[in-house]
Amino acid sequence: MQKVFMADKLHRTSIGGQAVIEGVMMRGIDKTALSVRLPNQTIDTETWNSKSEKTNKWYCKTPFIRGVFNLVDTFRLGYKCLTLSAEKATDDEELEPSKFEEWLDKKFGDKWMKVLTGLSAVIGVVIAVALFLFLPMYTVKFISSFVDLGGFKTLVEGVMKIIIFILYLGLVSMMKDIKRVFQYHGAEHKSIACYEAGEELTVENVRGFTRFHPRCGTSFLLIVLIISILVHALFPWHNMFLRLGLSLLFLPVIASVSYEIIKFAGRHDNLFSRVISAPGLWLQRLTTREPDDSQIEVGIASLVAVLPKEGQDDRW
């Protein structure tokens, strides 16, 4: 039976992580670690200093402003670790480069991976805008030409966004490679839960904890969708280009408000924090999978590498 930790008995850590290709990234108070299971089955752990002058800037500390900058930094770090993990987890000697990779190497040299990562990020943003802004908005407009939705247009639009989000997660979770990433996501959560409960970080101990964690980034994405419903209720429907433009313009505001809500929920244990965390915990049934012992070993290796020297330094 898995242990569900009690909030009032926890050491709530500010350490957070991310599942990557065959590995786990953990970000501590001053260090970041990336642990990857190599093709020879050993664990490679790379650490680097993640504390920079930027973290002390006023815009990284001021509520309702810091959210955007911290999220951009998180996405940047996430892409960096995904790229590194893909390189480490791949046996280059067994794989012949494709014609596209040869063209990129000839065109951009050693920088082709950065170019490809940047291109992937741009494509990802375009797909996200199309799926979560353009598609729901114009679908509601199409439906309203047959049915008078009145003041429920924004609500219908928001419900569509949430449905698309859940369907998207459900579909990608069926992919073999993504399933393994979601298993490492579970290993990340279990390792942090074990550490917060004050138990020794062993495979046997970590295995016993739940893979659902209340301070997961999945909750943040869901909060963004919910806050967007409230904000978009203020935007006009008579001009779709204006509505789309305002939606993009206010996206940093929505992200910042959502960031503060998640931080508040993570630091408190009350009815509000539980309500905020509940949808994200449910959604983690899609974004996490039960890890095997080898994956738990990777999660532990990454977490141990960023633990503070003083036990209270990482308190949330």
**Which letter does DSSP use for residue 33 in this model?**
E
Residues 267-271: what's their mean pLDDT?
79
Q: CA-CA distance, 16 to 29, in Å (whole number)? A: 10
Altogether, the residues listed in the chain come to a count of: 316
Does residue 60 or residue 295 have the better pLDDT? 295
Bridge partners (DSSP) listed for residue 35: 24, 45
pLDDT in tens, 31-70: 999 999 999 999 999 999 877 545 667 777 788 888 888 8
Mean pLDDT rounded to a whole number for the chain: 85
Helix then strand then coil, in percent of the chain rounded to 5, is 65, 10, 30
- pLDDT tens-digit readout, 150-190: 889 999 999 999 999 999 999 998 898 999 999 999 999 99
Is residue 148 helix, strand or coil? coil
34-49 burial string, b = 16+ CB within 10 Å, else e? bbbbeeeeebbbbeee
Domain ranges within the chain, ordered by starting residue: 7-304
CB 25 within 8 A of CB 194: no
pLDDT tens for each residue of 91-125: 655 556 666 556 656 666 666 566 666 777 788 88
